[in-house]
A and B are shown apart, each in its own frame.
Chain A
Amino acid sequence: MPFEYRGDIAHSDVAFNAWSNTLEGLFKEAAQATMKVMVEDLTAIQPAEKVQIKLDETNEEMLLFDFLNELIFYKDAKRLLLLPAQLTITRGGEGCSLEATLQGEEIDASKHKLDTDVKAVTMLRYSVTQVKEGWRATVVLDV
């Protein structure tokens, strides 16, 4: 299982662990875990609209923070439920950057089984670490 919700490290909020062999894979899993808090069945989101994003950050940890916050931003600002279709991360001496194509569609309560709104990514127990098998993240979302 590439992500797992955890009831033991947060009560009012929603916590999850995500992991993958690659950093790109980790970002995709974390995106799924975040969006699944709001929409019960992610396969119900049709790729009707595309959004390109580019983010620059000092490290992988803050890059994932910004990336998840972008998904939350589009949900409120444009009422778009988005997931990454394509995602590239470049790491260099100055920091790291992400280019992604997000795909999805406008919220439709009759079609998307809506769950609980995500307000923000918190810094509580937040971590993105390189491990023997690849990459691992712990995220607590404020809902």
Chain B
Amino acid sequence: MNLPAALKKISDTIWELPVSYKEGMLVPARIFATEKLIQEMDAGVFEQVSNVATLPGIQRYAYCMPDGHWGYGFPIGGVAAMDPGTGVISPGGIGFDINCGMRLVLTNLTADQVKPKLHQLVDRLFARIPTGVGCHGFVKLSESEFGSVVAQGSRWCLKNGFATQDDLDMTEEGGCFSGADPSSISEKAIERGFNQLGTLGSGNHYCEIQVALPENIWDAERAAAFGLTTPNQVVIMFHCGSRGFGHQVATDYLKLFLSVMERKYGIKLVDRELACAPFHSPEGQAYFSAMKCAVNMAFANRQVILHRIREVFSDVFQSSPDDLGMRMVYDVAHNTAKLEKHAANGHKKEFLIHRKGSTRALGPGAYGLPECYSNTGQPVIIGGSMETGSYLLAGMQSGADAFFTTAHGSGRTMSRHQAKKSFRGDKLQRDMLSRGIYVRTDSFGGLAEEAGDAYKNIDEVVEATELAGLSKRVARLIPIGNIKG
């Protein structure tokens, strides 16, 4: 494509749009990408990342990660740090699927042990984890009990037998953002979400059985520290979020912010999807609390799904989850806003970090890391397309400039509409089976949209994050089984 004429190459992996690029930009915009990836970026990235740079209170740069692509409001892969005192909070910088995220779980099984039972495992997972349009979950709750789930996140799961303390320790923020007050959420959000705990959803959400081949271990020391110790070890990776509850929270507050942004706070923006309110305003604080409720719902959702995955493996292999070594490597959140302390002018300063389709990636020694990862850096889980594989990486100390953030996936290059016209879901399923990947889905149309060729090359994306000093490759993981919503 034609890159914007104002785009300046700062280094081999950093590209900058200056404040003169668009009226109202308060800081420059920076995109992390190799020469090849920047050439492949869609025009929406440049438009949207420069829009983000106009948000009141933005600090340093509006960033976009190497998997960046056209989103709504922020680009997917967008990162913005606001001064909490003078800045805004924007639901468009977090997304409708609040705390959509990834979880990686170990087993002590090898591919040779799993392959004879692969179809049985995938069929069972598909039967036991609800997927697809409007699915309801297997955890039956009253609306009032749901209030406890959204206030407590994974802690609720621990109290109710769906989690271990180790699971919580291996989840960002222990699986609960504090300060989630259910009074900030609407009846409608509760009604929409209280029966969806334990559901995968649709679109790019999936649960995948993967193998760590010996030739795909990039950093043996870190891989061992993360639990990858056996050649051809089998792991489970899954991707889902806060379901209809989070979508409704975001919709409710998008509407509220649209009604007060200009009238009450005099904020005019180039894109209504960036609707925002001052962070310390009543509306900003209410959204921050409601967003935390949705974050916690997503942590709880992934936790009860993990519980079910353990049940399925335990059943198929007639062995306890402990005996199968089914320990979590980590759980990372993609779509959040968080108050974090980062270095600025030689001091630690608090920022409100918006991450949309991007992953926190703390370097070695960072505050907030589980002790077992203090020397390695935070595990970072980057999901690729269902055909090509995914990556386990580690946060690096050199990621400080981007507020310790890295990519979250491959990044789409083809619209869903185009993918559906280009691929056939049933054929794709057969082709993948012939390549040793067994997929189950309720939707062949949805499967076609997720074809590998609709995405950027995951190897190039993760290489770019490493070259940019954002995250370091640890292992590449190859899919053998997948359930898709």
B258 touches A123 (CB 8 A): yes
Among the interface residues B134, B248, B250, B446, which one has the most CB atoms of the partner chain A within 10 A? Answer: B134
Tell yes or no: A6 within 8 A of B by CB: yes
Chain A residues with a Cβ closer than 8 Å to the other chain, count? 40
B251–A69 touching, CB < 8 Å: yes
Docked-complex contact B72 and A122, CB < 8 angstroms: yes
How many Å from the CB of A132 to the closest CB on chain B?
Answer: 25
> Which of the candidate stretches B188-196, B224-232, B303-311 sits at the interface with the other chain?
B188-196
- CB-CB under 8 A from B193, the residues of chain A are 76
Verify A117–B272 contact, CB threshold 8 A: no
- Chain B positions within 8 Å of A81 at CB level: 134
B-binding segment of A11-19, A22-30, A46-54, A86-94: A11-19
Determine if A42 is an interface residue (Cβ-Cβ < 8 Å). no
A-B pairs with beta carbons under 8 Å apart, 26 shown: A6-B417, A11-B412, A11-B413, A11-B414, A12-B70, A13-B72, A38-B134, A73-B191, A76-B134, A76-B192, A76-B244, A76-B247, A77-B244, A114-B446, A115-B445, A116-B133, A117-B134, A119-B97, A119-B203, A123-B275, A124-B72, A124-B73, A126-B272, A126-B273, A142-B97, A143-B203
Question: Would you call A11 and B203 a contact (CB within 8 A)?
Answer: no
| A-B residue pair count with CB separations less than 8 angstroms | 132
Residues 308-363 of B at the A interface (beta carbon under 8 Å): none
Is B415 in contact with chain A by the CB < 8 A criterion? Answer: yes
B418 near A: Cβ within 8 Å?
Answer: yes
- Chain A residues with CB under 8 Å of chain B are 5-8, 10-15, 38-40, 62, 65, 69, 72-73, 75-77, 79, 81, 107, 109, 113-117, 119-124, 126, 140, 142-143
Beta-carbon contact of A14 and B416 below 8 Å: yes
Give, as a whole number of angstroms, the nearest-CB distance from A98 to chain B: 16
Cα–Cα distance between A25 and B300 once the two chains are bound (Å): 42
User: What is the interface of chain B, defined by CB distance below 8 A to chain A?
Assistant: 42, 44, 69-73, 76, 92, 95-97, 132-134, 136, 188, 191-193, 195-196, 201-204, 243-244, 247-248, 250-251, 254-255, 258, 271-273, 275, 412-418, 421, 442-443, 445-446, 449, 485
Which residue of chain A has the shortest Cβ distance to B412 in the bound complex? A11
Residues of chain B with a CB closer than 8 A to A142's CB: 72, 95-97, 247
Scoring B69, B76, B204, B415 by chain A CB atoms within 10 A of each residue's CB, the highest score goes to B415
Known: A10-B70, A11-B44, A123-B258. A117 touches B414 (CB 8 A): no
Q: Which residues of B contact A143 (CB under 8 A)?
A: 202-203, 416
Taken together as a complex, chains A and B put the C-alpha atoms of A113 and B442 apart, in Å, by: 8
